[in-house]
Structure 1
């Protein structure tokens, strides 16, 4: 069996609020394979956003460790973690998180700048991705000149621009209508499967969860169900 892309080993996260301790994650264990579309599913307060923050290296767990592509990210200092994210991780956000003063082309090309690509190559790759998501006529448009669905397409192109190993999608279609949601998710899955990338999708929406190969259901900081789709 191949080495897991992500290993979650006994992860516990405790927050202190005054004199009270709140257990957000309670010693979670799970492996996520390379190329897997894995959904972390749960209602508000289930611990799914906390788990995403641990996986992305935004917070350190109180106990346990997280290994991504054989690297224990819980041991990385902040600057090393930032460099690791730039090289290995992409993000798709519910609120798009596009820079308002940059065009669609510039927003998409941004991750490539951090990896040292020249301007011409950055823009060529960004333009190609934007055409693939149906925005070939919008390269010079700013976020304020685009609809929510168009902004999220830019967000997808940006997330995949540097071909990261793992993409974290945090409620990526929460602000979109049903038709646009389906289009966006089909794009995400097509890109990921083409490049054997791992997707970790965080949502409270059962319809969104249905796009995943596997669903990890969280309740009160515990994984209570691990469901895999039958591959026919």
Structure 2
């Protein structure tokens, strides 16, 4: 008996989302009635230039801001209706983040930084640090397990950031310009690493970027201009880079 394709089930649903910001006596409309579905196991790129609204949309999807109107659901949960405590709990259980600026805690080692999401889930210290060390070795940092962020290069810090984002196997990982501070060679390595983890763990990736090269790794590219979706289409490459 054939099993249903898990990608036929959306993990993220955005319904008529509008976001306004009051500035003095005026109101700036950052997002205009956004409707979007992102499917389980999909790598979806939110693509646009500076000021297009992509960062605002990311904030809505991750529950960092509440929409002025409309609703965002992740796994059927209306996150735009949750209070701050409920949101914090939801993020710890279901979401991961890879940041452009790495966001590693400076006073923690690579192992301790990567183990942090498991701490929030109540995993015992020995178990979570063993898992963190194993994942750091997978991302090529076996020689940096006990190093602090200041002792690592940008590429090494981002590898640690990726390990931290994926260690708890979240349903959705948000990658906000994850290679913006890296050279071209390291960019390729980081993107291939993110895509490999996503495929192995069947996780959904929301990749936010202005870079067409990064967008080429996605299964689907959603393009924003002036707070509106102007294009939403599958990657037309016959052999996407992350599958070669």
How does the TM-score come out when normalised to structure 1? 0.98
Give 1:75-224 correspondences, 5 Å limit. 75-224=81-230
Could you say which residue in structure 1 is the equivalent of 2:234? Answer: 228
Could you say which residue in structure 2 is the equivalent of 1:47? Answer: 53
Could you say which residue in structure 1 is the equivalent of 2:78? Answer: 72
In 2, Cα distance between equivalents of 1:226 and 1:114: 36
SS in 2 for 1:5: strand
SS in 1 for 2:10: coil
In 2, Cα distance between equivalents of 1:132 and 1:181: 17
In 2, Cα distance between equivalents of 1:195 and 1:206: 25
SS in 1 for 2:105: coil
Q: Compute the displacement of 1:137 (Å).
A: 1.1
Q: Compute the displacement of 1:106 (Å).
A: 0.3
In 1, Cα distance between equivalents of 2:9 and 2:75: 8
Give the conservation status (yes or no) of the 8 Å contact 2:14–2:71: yes
Q: Compute the displacement of 1:3 (Å).
A: 2.5
Contiguous gaps of at least 5 residues in structure 2: 240-244
In 2, Cα distance between equivalents of 1:196 and 1:69: 14
Q: Compute the displacement of 1:32 (Å).
A: 0.2
Give the conservation status (yes or no) of the 8 Å contact 2:19–2:69: yes
In 2, Cα distance between equivalents of 1:105 and 1:220: 41
Q: Compute the displacement of 1:49 (Å).
A: 0.3
Contiguous gaps of at least 5 residues in structure 1: none
In 2, Cα distance between equivalents of 1:57 and 1:19: 27
**RMSD of aligned residue pairs (Cα, Å):** 1.0
Give the conservation status (yes or no) of the 8 Å contact 2:135–2:163: yes
Could you say which residue in structure 1 is the equivalent of 2:26? Answer: 20
Q: Compute the displacement of 1:229 (Å).
A: 2.2
In 1, Cα distance between equivalents of 2:155 and 2:119: 25
